[in-house]
A = this chain, B = another copy of it.
Amino acid sequence: MATASTAVTVGVVTDGRIERGEQTRRLILRRATEIASVDGLEGLSIGRLATELDISKSGLFAHFGSKEELQLATVRAARAIFVEEVVRPALVVPPGAERLWLLCEGWLSYSRRRVFPGGCFFQAVQAEFGSRPGRVRDAVADAGIDWGALLEVTAAEAGVQDPAQLTFEVVAFLEAANTASVLHDDHAAYDRARAALRARVPAVRR
């Protein structure tokens, strides 16, 4: 999520107002991220999306021009939400151990609060497109790379000895907690993740 700021979808503005089409587009994409987090980006069908939003299929389709473009836009929208929910809150503190800890806690909260109803949007979509080459997979992979890079840089700023290794382990704990919670309704997994993180992430007043 290094390109955090540019990932935020900014509405087209005229005289300070948001155009009508752009507003519809936002509604579409917000719902699209919710559906995709549960049923995947392939399970996200244009007809179903249109029905749920009380919009004609063709009217919705005109916004994107193809299913692939809808999927790409959905990934971008999910990134923007992720940045807002996890990254931005951590940037209020200066670089260092506290910021690293805020990123971890923010992520666990983002998963636990079900910002996306299916749990972490990116985990769902990564597994779906992991071995299916194409632009969507690349977009999804980029999101993961940027998030890892942010963690790694922050870990380095916190004085961690091996930031790449720590990043691997942190991501592993976070995603395992999300998986256990979504698949087994295992609420305790978040506590286990936190315990594992405490043993790894540099201490800070908590």
A172 touches B196 (CB 8 A): yes
B132 touches A39 (CB 8 A): yes
A164 an interface residue at 8 Å Cβ cutoff? yes
Residues 121-144 of A, flagged 1 when their CB comes within 8 A of B and 0 if not, give: 001101110111000010011001
The docked-state distance in angstroms from the alpha carbon of A37 to that of B127 is: 9
A53 an interface residue at 8 Å Cβ cutoff? no
Q: How many copies does the complex hold?
A: 2
Which residues from B are CB-within-8-Å of A176? 168-169, 171-172, 175-176
Which residues from B are CB-within-8-Å of A140? 183
A95 an interface residue at 8 Å Cβ cutoff? no
Residues A180 and B196 in contact in the complex (CB < 8 Å), given A43-B42, A123-B127, A175-B175: no
In angstroms, how far is the closest chain B Cβ from the Cβ of A34? Answer: 11
A contact face: mostly helix, strand, loop, or mixed:
helix
B183 touches A126 (CB 8 A): yes
Residue from the list B130, B164, B175, B195 in contact with A165, Cβ < 8 A = B195
Which residues from B are CB-within-8-Å of A184? 141, 144-145
Q: Which residues of A contact B (CB under 8 A)?
A: 37-40, 42-43, 117-119, 123-124, 126-128, 130-132, 137, 140-141, 144-145, 164-165, 168-169, 171-173, 175-176, 179-180, 182-184, 189, 192-193, 195-196
